[in-house]
Amino acid sequence: MAQVSLIFPTTSRTLFSPERALPYQRSLQEAGHAVEVIVVNGSGAIKHVDFEPSWRRVEAREPGLAEAAITGLRAARGDVLLLLDTAMGYLPADLNRVAEALVDGAADLAVASQFAGKSPGRPSTALVRIRGYAGALVRSLTGTSDPFSGLIGLTRALYSELGGTLQPLGSKFGVDILARAGGRWIDVPVSSTWPARAQRLEFDDLRQLKRLADHRFGNFSRLFQFCVVGASGMVIDLSFYAAFQWLFARTAIAHLRAPLVGGPLALAVAAALAIWIALTWNFALNRRLTFSYARQGSIVRQYVTYALSNAVGILVSFMLRITLPRSFTFFDQHKLAAAVVGIVTATGISFSMSRWVVFRHLSDPKRGGASLIAADPVPPRALGGEQGGVGSVAEAFAPLAGLPDSGPEAGSDPLLEGRHDLSGEPAAESLGHGDRARQVGVV
């Protein structure tokens, strides 16, 4: 039916052995697929293991399961690419269901999920329903009900579109693919057991989740991060302000007057130093986290423009606090409300200046100057529907409510060109999508 590349990324933490891998290969072959097996040796995990003669062994250049997975994708020659972490406890039947969703043209990216609702062969218990609702909520935020899935499939066409944009990090190979992939997504309910070994999140996995949030929500995600950084800066500001007041009160400047602004010089110096430290703190965090794509830019230019943009925001906030009470009775009676307006306005100015001036996007020369951020994907859907999307939390829960599916016919994909079969020869024909996208399972 299809030419499938089955990729086993491995590290020292994965539970891989030929005996564990063979049932997956045989299950796909029994379904009529031509299967290419690729075992990626990451972190020197595989040393003295006898493989099947037809299997290919590839060495990952960097440590990490995500790096091993992307290395396997680069080496694959099939039309359908399946990534499988054997330590996650998936069954051979789960693998077939993911492959079927891609072969039938139901999606370009299929994610095996234990949170997508009822899976075949399992009763609908209260726990299953609770996990299904939780998965629907996660899907509305991340695009899939299981972003940490250890079984993901994608078409050759989708991988070709990704090109060199993948930046593997950490132990969850699916997050980077989700953060950059477009096309049609689908969640495939699976009946796998819980992982044979506890899966621990790494710091790099959190970095990948940030990338996924930026890809899904764009500037809204960055605005949220910007506000969180600002809140942390307020804590830094007040903490140092209190500490400097205590310190300078015991020095000679405690009895001096501050020029221009008046008042105790110790208080003015404490305020200036605390603001400068908080400003530097916010700049460092925003450069490292919120606008991480801009770390290659000139740090001196960025720091100066960041300080100036914040000065503009502070000036506008100050002016609004003073002028609004003079112009409006409401704000004259509620001066804190005027301060809130000033803070919100200043935040908007500072974020806009930071996003489009201070930390402006660098182009990627490998992609003809295009932005490093991938195009937004077609909103994913739960398995069972034929069209469309999780544009809201309500839509995300629709599959669990048993709503009927409807949608337009699925056409052939013109991007499935120039592929090669498992022997390296050009493929004779592309996958047939059929008249309509098939329903692959029951949610």
Angle between helices 18-30 and 92-103 (to 10 degrees): 40
Short-list 374, 358, 349, 210, CA closest to 290: 210
CA dihedral 392→394→400→402, nearest 10 degrees, is: -110
Q: Determine the average pLDDT of the residues in 52-62.
A: 87
Q: Which helix (H) or strand (E) holds 307?
A: helix 299-327
Give 398-421 pLDDT, tens digit per residue: 433 433 333 333 333 333 333 333
Does pTM surpass 0.85? no
What phi and psi, each to the nearest 5 degrees, are found at residue 225? -65, -40
Helix, strand, or coil (residue 298): coil
Q: Could you give the domains of the chain?
A: 3-217+374-401 (3.90.550), 219-367 (no CATH)
Residue 271 has pLDDT above 70, yes or no: yes
Give 177-209 pLDDT, tens digit per residue: 888 888 899 999 887 655 544 456 666 667 777
Residue 157 pLDDT level (bands cut at 50, 70, 90):
very high
CA dihedral 8→151→177→405, nearest 10 degrees, is: 150
Give 218-267 pLDDT, tens digit per residue: 888 899 999 999 999 889 988 999 999 999 988 988 888 888 767 788 88
**Residue 260 in tokens:** 């221009």
Short-list 163, 161, 153, 165, CA closest to 182: 161
DSSP line for 47-103: SS-PPPTT-EEEE-SSSSHHHHHHHHHHH--SSEEEEE-GGG---HHHHHHHHHHHH
Helix, strand, or coil (residue 220): helix
